[in-house]
Amino acid sequence: MTGGPHAPATRRQFLGLTAAAGFALVTGCSARQPTAAGPSTSTPGGLRLTAAPMRVDLAGSEIPTWGYGTLPGPEIRLRAGDRLRVELDNELPDDTTIHWHGLAPPNRMDGVPGLTQDPVAPGERFTYEFETPTAGSFMYHAHVGMQLDRGLYGPLVVEPRSEELSYDREYTLMLDDWRDGMDAHGGHGADAGHGSAAEDDGGDAVSFGGRSYPLLLVNGRPPEDPPVLETRPGDRLRLRVMNIAADTGFRFAIAGHRLTVTHTDGMPVEPIPVDALRLGMGERYDVLVESAQRGGAWQVGVQAEGRGGWGRAVLRYGGSPASSPPAVAQRPGELDGRLVAYADLLAREPLTLPAGSPDRVYDLELSGTQIGGQSYPDADPLPVAEGEWVRITMRNTSAKWHPMHLHGHHFQVLTPTGRGPVKDTATVAARGGVLSFDFLATNPGDWLFHCHNHHHMEDGMVRVVRYR
Ligand code: C2O
Ligand code: CU
């Protein structure tokens, strides 16, 4: 349980910290500095997160927003099998909740107001408490209306009991699109008017959203004030890259370096080298990066898919203080290289499905405002029964790419290998894209299934998977 900025921790430091604290709250480990109020205080046996109005400094502009004290909120770290215990204090002038994105808690801890819990009213407290048996890279965020579009989010890492990967340091990178509190801003953000023509004339531009966002942030920092990832020649880095944006899919690459994908949405895959990642909103990738350069400072580029928009971090080799950072907008050529694709990913821990075929199959059209011809809340639940093997197939008839997220479960994407990746958020390509996944109905309750574009979600792209 630590507070205040400190240097990026090495893996050994993380383990030491976690071992000592049992349940560790790590701030500053993402090479970021708290930008507003101090980090949340810890409470005996757990943490307290206070949702409150705050101000963030975005390259010199003081921006009012709502958050958990820092942007992103403090990184929560625990180990597989630990109990997460978080007291949420609501100091907002509005109801709020926290959803643990990618985790599979008991239903009443899932943080969906009106479905799994009463919203936490202003001035009230709610305690989230559940076990976290599964290691991985997850996120937490508010789940009331468009609150996620402010600063009410943070990373949550569950470390395995014994780590199979070997690496020297790790960083968490949260990618976000930002417009809260900004009226007019030049910026390098996602501009709906830029590059969107191709979408309208039926071109094949990849587009996840259409709203204008003046800034793209990496760990709460705009490109003019990027987070710096320190490394040394010969070191191996682990990066946990997370897309928490409301309306933006990202492409991610590092100039002069390849990425070895080891996990998606926290779940292990056979390691595979790529040049670039594409992340829909809600998706995460863990990658290993070999620090094979002799020195220098290298652009970690974050490009908004299908429109203008740019964010970045800098990978800097220690011992080269003289090397100046790359120019703000310098674009790594790797962004155009080999992209990670679901079909290339092989689950290391596939679901244990019985022989035969699924017990229940849903075939659902994604239209941009509807799932299966219905708009939430005027939508029927999708019934399942405990123990069933359920398959959902989605056909996207719209011009936007939709990252579809299922609460409370890990699902396995169907790919030609029969061993597709296990995920909790999967993107369905626009204009006829089809994607299927399987899951085992082993976690009773009412679980949201929705597009993680928050505008699409607010427009009704939500259904409820209901156990009967
Ligand atoms: Cu990350 Cu229902 O959300
Ligand atoms: Cu969508």
94-121 pLDDT, tens digit each: 999 999 999 999 999 999 999 999 999 9
pLDDT of residue 152: 98
Please give the residue that has the higher pLDDT: either 26 or 427.
Answer: 427
**Domain for residue 390, yes or no?**
yes
Residue 172, classified by CB atoms within 10 Å of its CB into exposed (0-12), middle (13-18) or buried (19+), is buried
409 touches ligand 1 (CB under 6 Å): no
- State yes or no: pLDDT of 6 exceeds 50: no
CB 258 near ligand 1, within 6 Å: no
pLDDT of res. 396: 98
Q: Are residues 302 and 386 in the same domain?
A: no
CA atoms of 137 and 157, how far apart (whole Å): 5
Q: Which ligand is nearest to the CA of 280?
A: 2
* 401 and 379, same domain (yes or no): yes
Whether 26 and 138 map to the same domain: the answer is yes
- Same domain (yes/no): 30, 147: yes
Number of domains in the chain: 3
Is the CB of 101 within 6 Å of ligand 1? yes
Whether the CB of 403 sits within 6 Å of ligand 1? no
Residue 323 lies in a domain: yes
Q: How far apart are CA 250 and CA 265, in angstroms?
A: 15
Ligand 1 centroid to Cα of residue 388, in Å, is 23
Dist CA 414 CA 393 (whole Å): 9
Question: Residue 323's domain spans which residues?
Answer: 170-179+214-340
Q: What residues contact 371, with CB distance under 8 A and at least 6 apart?
A: 364, 365, 379, 394, 449, 450, 451, 461, 462, 463
Quick: pLDDT tens for 235-267: 999 999 999 999 999 999 999 999 999 999 999
Nearest ligand (C-alpha, residue 208): 2
Summarize the confidence of residues 319-335 as an average pLDDT: 86
pLDDT over threshold 90, residue 83: yes
Same domain as 415, residue 380:
yes
Q: What's residue 331's pLDDT?
A: 96
Residue 241 is predicted with a pLDDT of 98
Tell me how far the alpha carbon of residue 73 lies from the centroid of ligand 1, in angstroms.
16
Asked if residue 207 belongs to a domain, the reply is no
| 415 and 308 assigned to the same domain | no
The arithmetic mean of pLDDT across residues 55-67, rounded, is 93
H or E segment and range at residue 361:
strand 360-366
Q: Determine the distance from the C-alpha atom of residue 99 to the mean position of all C-alpha atoms in its chain, rounded to a whole number.
A: 12
> 345 in a domain, yes or no?
no
**DSSP β-ladder status, 75-79 and 153-159:** parallel
Looking at residue 76, its pLDDT comes to: 96
Question: Does 108 share its domain with 235?
Answer: no
Q: How much distance in Å is there from the Cα of 368 to the middle of ligand 2?
A: 6
What CATH number did the domain enclosing 125 receive?
Answer: 2.60.40.420
Question: Residue 282: CB within 6 Å of ligand 1?
Answer: yes
Residues 17 and 157 in one domain: yes
From the number of C-beta atoms within 10 Å of its C-beta (0-12, 13-18, 19+), residue 294 rates as: exposed
Residue 289: closest CA among 275, 270, 279: 275
Q: Are 325 and 365 within one domain?
A: no
C-alpha 376 to ligand 2 mean position (Å): 13
Give pLDDT tens digits for 137-168. 999 999 999 999 999 999 999 999 999 999 99
Q: How far is it, in rounded angstroms, from Cα 294 to Cα 320? A: 9
CB of 405 closer than 6 A to ligand 1?
Answer: yes
Q: Does the beta carbon of 141 lie inside 6 Å of ligand 1?
A: yes
Give the ligand 1 atom nearest the CA of 457: 2
pLDDT band at 44 (very low <50, low <70, confident <90, very high): low
Cis peptide before 377 (omega within 30 of 0): yes
Cβ neighbour number for residue 174 with a 10 Å cutoff: 26
What residue's CA is closest to ligand 1, atom 1? Answer: 101
In a domain, 199, yes or no: no
The CB of 455 under 6 Å from ligand 1? The reply is no
Q: Which helix (H) or strand (E) holds 26?
A: strand 24-26
What's the CA-to-centroid distance between 370 and ligand 2, angstroms? 9
Place of tokens 């863990």: 286
pLDDT in tens, 392-425: 999 999 999 999 999 999 999 999 999 999 999 9
pLDDT at 191: 59
- pLDDT (tens digit, 9 = 90+) per residue, 181-240? 886 555 566 655 443 333 343 456 899 998 889 999 999 999 999 999 999 999 999 999
* CA 339 to chain centroid: 18
Average pLDDT over residues 82-103: 98
Query: Is 90 within the bounds of a domain?
Result: yes
- For residue 245, tell me if it sits in a domain: yes
150 touches ligand 1 (CB under 6 Å):
no
Contact 69, 52 (CB under 8 A): yes
Among 340, 369, 391, where does a domain finish? 340
> Domain end: 279, 311, 340, which one?
340
In this prediction, residue 210 carries a pLDDT of: 86
Write down the pLDDT at residue 43.
Answer: 52
Which ligand is in closest contact with the Cα of 403? 2
% of the chain residues with pLDDT over 70: 85
The gap between the terminal CA atoms of the chain, to the nearest Å, is 41
402 CB near ligand 1 (under 6 Å): no
What pLDDT score was predicted for residue 184?
Answer: 54
Answer yes or no: do 174 and 155 share one domain: no
Q: Are residues 391 and 245 in the same domain?
A: no
Residue 90: phi, psi to the nearest 5? -100, 105
Measured over the CA atoms of residue 118, residue 120, residue 125 and residue 127, the dihedral's sign is positive
Q: Are residue 278 and residue 306 in the same domain, yes or no?
A: yes
The minimum-distance atom of ligand 1 relative to the CA of 139 is 1
Helix (H, G, I), strand (E, B) or coil at 73: coil
Q: Whose CA is nearest to atom 3 of ligand 1?
A: 101
Q: How many CA atoms lie within 13 A of 432 on its CB side?
A: 2
Residue at 457 is within a domain:
yes
State the closest ligand 1 atom to the C-alpha of 101, by its place in the atom list counted from 1.
1
Instruction: State the distance from the centre of ligand 2 to the C-alpha of 366, rounded, in angstroms.
Output: 8
Q: Is the CB of 99 inside a 6 Å radius of any atom of ligand 1?
A: yes
β-sheet with 411-413: strand ranges across: 360-366, 389-396, 433-440, 411-413, 422-423
Beta-bridged to residue 393, according to DSSP, are 363, 436
Q: Is 119 left (phi over 0), alpha (psi -120 to 50) or beta?
A: beta
How far is Cα 296 from Cα 298, in angstroms, rounded to an integer?
7
